[in-house]
Chain A
């Protein structure tokens, strides 16, 4: 469904995947790199998803001078410019959500609507750090591990992916510099949080909701950190609806919307 392509950017070359129908949406991946899944496939029925592989992830080469969240955001802005044009909607997962916020702060004209999915980067100092115990980590990441697509990446690539996080943001868990500029985000923003996400504390998303001017916070029930695989239908429906109807996504569309009616 997603085709691999290459983009020639000012600072260097990056790989990306693209697929779907409808208006363009940039998907910024998390620590695991690009990993197509049921949620993205469902979403691609309504939007065209562009998934750039950020430099150094998934076995790609790093790019000289791209070594911070800011410079990485600049690179994504260049990607939008070269591959899409004026502006695109942006969806970022975890690390990618953090990056998306930097993008919206530094390049407001490049972002149509912004969607942050279990965004990293805003864990308050007194909130517990995500667990390093493998079993606990699994629970924090996945409500339904059996829904994960088959892993195709080597252990080496997976380890390198993780190390790239430090490359871009060091050991920052709360990005003071970005936090102080959230008020500059002009675009309509949706922050999504899985009710079983053990990696991102809810204080973080509440903080974002408070400080981003035109933002909405939506809890996706029974999803952990990997929302796209835990609740693919809820994820895809919500994102597509938000992207398509903007502010009006607050207004119910009735029985035609393809979702069950709730008890009144």
Chain B
């Protein structure tokens, strides 16, 4: 099993964010912001020492939810300060940015890291479209066109132009080019059928990041695997990344208390304004291609908010407890889903930074050594079928 460390760098200096969109930034205290930012970056660098294979940064706008409107600035620092870890940008929100600029910045990161970039292409969560004033109706169309354009920009040996539905460029030849040829390794979300298929079509690794239960996730993985085979390639175990929250402590009760409080802050405070914008998008646009997907999205949010904490731990949807419990939980996830990669979110909401570090230390000392061998060989398709 390989592990990815995601830290969305929340601003935790607010006690109440309200329900307004966007969240007024008069609540941002620069002094606190500077301290948090520096701490978070050091935590991300520490993740390499703790044995994580990838370190992730992701894009969010106009809310204390995350302080990385362009995560590539943080990725650049990580590339410079680490030696071995993959620099996972998970990622730029493709439909709301200039694809050529994404291609350029990712190429820079690949060069700055000596070829360690994992290029994440995300469609984003709905509120980002409100932030950047891009029509959510166009998100799939833009996503598909942009990925095609970015891959061209990375790999075309000769300068080229592009006359698309959403993007037009007359002459492109980016400098620098990526180190990894023909493309840097890619990561895309596969949480809906449409995005699972898109990931498979792009030849990308797939992230399953909002898991409601094992059964539906297995089906989702199958959609991805089937489509990939139709496209003529077979994903490996470590192309399937399962995302979970994680808290490890000397006792289950302590780990639970920490994570539960963090989740409460995450949904209650950081999630407030975002949900308002999200509702607008879901209700007023065709962000989700079909009604089923919209319902599923809503269901996931509800499940995550409403199921009791103990229930979710029991269902295997959170990594939480003593180091020994964490090992069992990860083994179970692997048994159920056949994944070769996990993404762990340790900084959830306002979980204290020293608790984040402690969890990282438990992972390094006890959990990682015990689960490393999982999924190194097997094919997730078998487990999922």
A and B touching (C-beta < 8 Å)?
Answer: yes
Chain B contact surface mostly: helix
Q: Does B361 contact A (CB under 8 A)?
A: no
Contact A251 B129 (CB under 8 A): yes
Contact B97 A252 (CB under 8 A): no
Q: In the complex, what distance in Å separates the CA atom of A264 from the CA atom of B98? A: 5
Contact B135 A263 (CB under 8 A): no
Q: For the complex formed, measure the closest distance between the CB of B341 and the CB atoms of chain A, giving whole angstroms.
A: 31
Contact A254 B135 (CB under 8 A): yes
- The interface stretch among A64-72, A183-191, A224-232, A242-250 is A242-250
Partner of B280, one of A250, A253, A254, A263: A250
Contact A263 B130 (CB under 8 A): no
CB 8 Å contact bits of B328-346 with A (1 = contact, 0 = none): 0000000000000000000
B132 partner residues in chain A, CB cutoff 8 A = 264
Q: Does A132 contact B (CB under 8 A)?
A: no
Q: Does A152 contact B (CB under 8 A)?
A: no
Q: Which residue of B lies closest to A263 (CB)?
A: B98
Q: Which residue of A lies closest to B134 (CB)?
A: A252
Contact A252 B284 (CB under 8 A): no
- Total residues of chain A contacting the partner, CB 8 A: 13
B145 partner residues in chain A, CB cutoff 8 A = none
Contact A251 B97 (CB under 8 A): no
Q: Does A262 contact B (CB under 8 A)?
A: yes
Residues 121 to 137 of chain B near chain A (Cβ within 8 Å)? 129-130, 132-137
Q: A263-B98, A264-B98 are in contact. Are A251 and B138 (CB under 8 A)?
A: no
Q: For the complex formed, measure the closest distance between the CB of A108 and the CB atoms of chain B, giving whole angstroms.
A: 20
Q: A262-B133, A264-B134 are in contact. Are A251 and B280 (CB under 8 A)?
A: yes
A263 partner residues in chain B, CB cutoff 8 A = 98
Q: Does B156 contact A (CB under 8 A)?
A: no
Residues 212 to 264 of chain A near chain B (Cβ within 8 Å)? 245, 247-248, 250-255, 257, 262-264
Q: In the complex, what distance in Å separates the CA atom of A107 from the CA atom of B93? A: 44
Contact A253 B134 (CB under 8 A): no
Q: Does B96 contact A (CB under 8 A)?
A: yes
Contact A251 B136 (CB under 8 A): yes
B129 partner residues in chain A, CB cutoff 8 A = 251-252
Q: For the complex formed, measure the closest distance between the CB of A18 and the CB atoms of chain B, giving whole angstroms.
A: 30
Q: Which residue of B lies closest to A245 (CB)?
A: B284
Q: Does B309 contact A (CB under 8 A)?
A: no
Q: In the complex, what distance in Å separates the CA atom of A250 from the CA atom of B133? A: 7
Q: For the complex formed, measure the closest distance between the CB of A68 and the CB atoms of chain B, giving whole angstroms.
A: 33
Q: Which residue of A lies closest to B21 (CB)?
A: A250
Q: For the complex formed, measure the closest distance between the CB of A11 and the CB atoms of chain B, giving whole angstroms.
A: 39
Q: Does B285 contact A (CB under 8 A)?
A: yes
Closest 8 CB pairs of A and B: A254-B135, A248-B284, A252-B135, A264-B98, A252-B133, A250-B130, A254-B138, A252-B134
